[in-house]
Structure 1
């Protein structure tokens, strides 16, 4: 026993990289037979993470990558809090409810203090909850009228993949409006041409993934009002405000897109995007409690008390919700406005500088009137540039930048674009360094034109 104790003592005081444990490879397919010292296991896993990219240079993601130290402290304090266990963690549940009411008020709900909503693991889950409520309400109306419910459809513009998942999971026809020529988003005419008695709802996106543009919610709502007057069809709207829901209220308050429009029944947003919270938290808020069908609410009594739940996930962390509330308290309306406006200012700077390079035509300049602080552009047509956007994106990776290049969805797969997403934490100084690297990359291609352009498949597509 003394001999074994001496061996353990020697191992404890070994320099980490001189230890026997670190002389072997990490297991890839089978759990190791024996345990390791915590500091050795930590070092091995931590070292593998070095191979990941620098998230602050990832200009593809919409997700927040910079957090205040206080947020990190709150996250460490709340690792053990289960959001669904409202009996054990009543204050966490109360804070979640506060966030729902704050967002309902921010989005101009007529009953902000009494409406229903919930946190989720992200805006994709929140979007699916909104879609489910549309489907259930449509079924209720159809059954009450003695009509069939076997052919539901949903109308949207170019959407994030969560809506494709929703349509497939719930067997709904997705009538996605394709891009045509210079029209890259939903328009009222395109919506009306697809609407019928089986349409469960229309989903405009406040910040289209591919370009960053806001879709015209108010114009679509007015067109649906006119359709109801002419035909009697009453088709509701769910707004996918994954990004724009935390932007428009602060930087473009005159844009009417939210519960000010009676036809808007629900809104989803992503707290871990422009809500400035850490991964992963989303939000869904209904205009009023009647818009959430009771069939979607479940009562649970086996966690210590009887409590309702209507999220898709069950157990999930509460720390992100706490961090979201911290941001509401910490920043307030004016703080959010300043943070988001700084992002727009940097986006406008980048749009101007990219235009000066001479090779590119701006699609979205990142102004608050047009969309989220995302700058998107294409190559000027009819010119041999000596590179493609995929070549350029690949070249920028040598400096650590991830600036996505990708082709558009139907019917504009022929159009390749590149996009920069400006988030809180991406400073003007970093933007100037990025533009220096753009100029260096273009100078490289001037000296070494690409004879065989890189394809999207070779480059890899990494936009969110």
Structure 2
């Protein structure tokens, strides 16, 4: 019997052979072999339930998974063939506009996460700035935002020729407000971007204060500077945990909002949303009309072909949970985050970052009195000993000398998980104190970014 036949009968053909990694395979393999090859490779991945770095959803209900599986083959952009999917997208846009208190008829788009939504929102800000300038001499547009934004904002500026005016952070102050923003604004400012739930500490910029500043500038200087809210993480949190806080279209200068459906919208990766205050806030020049799929459609995205599944999964969640369900889930996360924070505080080893402020359901913390080890050592020890992925990272300028950790408490993290994590953190600190930190060679292997 040949080796191939033996493998088919007794086990895996790649048990002792290298898998394809560089050259395009000359021949194929059976479906079973291909499945085992990929599945066994992925068995080495980390456990999503212990990944407290990622904001992205790692669990959905079986019914939602069935909808996803049954619609993976549908191309979302083909509205002529799949008109119900197009209608469901518009339902989601209208529901989110309602959630964000849009005052009237609005528009928006599904996107490939908040990154595409931010690119599109920024482009609309730039085109509308051009329109406001009329026949004024050519100038370099600028966009004002804080150092607490996601790196995609800097990408937008680089890719689309906009000057980034980045408001630096400060030690002990990790968000921005009107006094920080005002010196950066001039007649070439296409807009101000403020964050609702930062990646770094989970807090929000003073969006209401920035709105008041922009209203004053409009009144005193005649500059109508719009405000875009980056609600990638917070857009599905604040309406349910802090419903009385005005950060959305209740504020006059807020003209557009992006939100990630695949974060606290509770959908698997691949879905984001861009919502405009009103239809006029979407620059007409950015909307393309085409009919090569059999029907004239207006498109406003950076890509065309993409799956329908996550749009349908988002609609499933909206109708499945409603306001009451989302509030219940967010409050459960918040309760567990506060329990974890209290347990860390009682250890006497950590300083919590802004626990009394409005915050995403997470715990941001740092070592109060390092005893021969630092936050990077602790992150490594937790991963090596217990499999917990709790990121350690430095903050942006001018707070780059501050190192913190962040534990995101999501829907899948139960109270028992919180108790176990707290014990594991305490034991990891004791281990590090005894041995004087982690080995330098091990620490260099760590991924130290804040996660997404």
**What TM-score comes out, normalization by structure 1 length?**
0.93
The 8 Å contact of residues 372 and 433 in structure 2, kept in 1 or not, is answered as yes
Within 5 Å, give how 1:297-316 maps onto structure 2: 297-316=287-306
1:375 aligns with 363
Structure 1 residues 14-71: Cα deviation after superposition (integer angstroms, max 9, x where no partner): 1332x4x654211111111111110011101110001111111110001011111111
Structure 1, 443-452 or 267-276: larger mean CA deviation: 443-452
Within 5 Å, give how 1:425-464 maps onto structure 2: 425-450=412-437, 457=444, 459-464=446-451
Q: CA deviation at 1:98?
A: 0.2
2:9 aligns with 14
1:402 and 2:392 are equivalent in the alignment: no
1:422 and 2:417 are equivalent in the alignment: no
Structure 1 residues 175-208: Cα deviation after superposition (integer angstroms, max 9, x where no partner): 1111123221111011111111010000110011
Within 5 Å, give how 1:325-336 maps onto structure 2: 325-336=315-326
Residues 356 and 124 (structure 1 numbering): CA distance in 2 closer, same or farther, change over 3 Å?
Answer: same
The 8 Å contact of residues 381 and 438 in structure 2, kept in 1 or not, is answered as no
Residues 9 and 180 (structure 1 numbering): CA distance in 2 closer, same or farther, change over 3 Å?
Answer: closer
2:379 aligns with 393
Correspondence for 1:120 among 111, 114, 136: 111
Q: CA deviation at 1:327?
A: 0.4
The 8 Å contact of residues 366 and 403 in structure 2, kept in 1 or not, is answered as yes
1:175 and 2:165 are equivalent in the alignment: yes
Cα RMSD (Å) of the superposition?
Answer: 2.0
Structure 1, 432-441 or 98-107: larger mean CA deviation: 432-441
Could you say what secondary structure the match of 1:397 adopts?
helix
Could you say what secondary structure the match of 2:293 adopts?
coil
Q: Any gaps of 5 or more consecutive residues in structure 1?
A: 1-5
Structure 1 residues 373-426: Cα deviation after superposition (integer angstroms, max 9, x where no partner): 12111222xx44121000000000021110000001111111000011111111
Aligned residues: 449
2:149 aligns with 159
1:38 aligns with 31
Could you say what secondary structure the match of 1:66 adopts?
coil
Within 5 Å, give how 1:53-132 maps onto structure 2: 53-111=46-104, 114-132=105-123
Could you say what secondary structure the match of 2:353 adopts?
strand
1:3 aligns with none
The 8 Å contact of residues 359 and 385 in structure 1, kept in 2 or not, is answered as no
Residues 172 and 9 (structure 1 numbering): CA distance in 2 closer, same or farther, change over 3 Å?
Answer: closer
Within 5 Å, give how 1:343-362 maps onto structure 2: 343-362=333-352
2:217 aligns with 227
Q: CA deviation at 1:148?
A: 2.7
Counterpart CA distance in 1 for 2:248 and 2:197 is: 14
Could you say what secondary structure the match of 1:204 adopts?
strand
User: Which stretches of structure 1, 4 residues or longer, exceed 6 Å deviation after superposition?
Assistant: 6-9, 451-456
Residues 8 and 321 (structure 1 numbering): CA distance in 2 closer, same or farther, change over 3 Å?
Answer: farther
2:313 aligns with 323
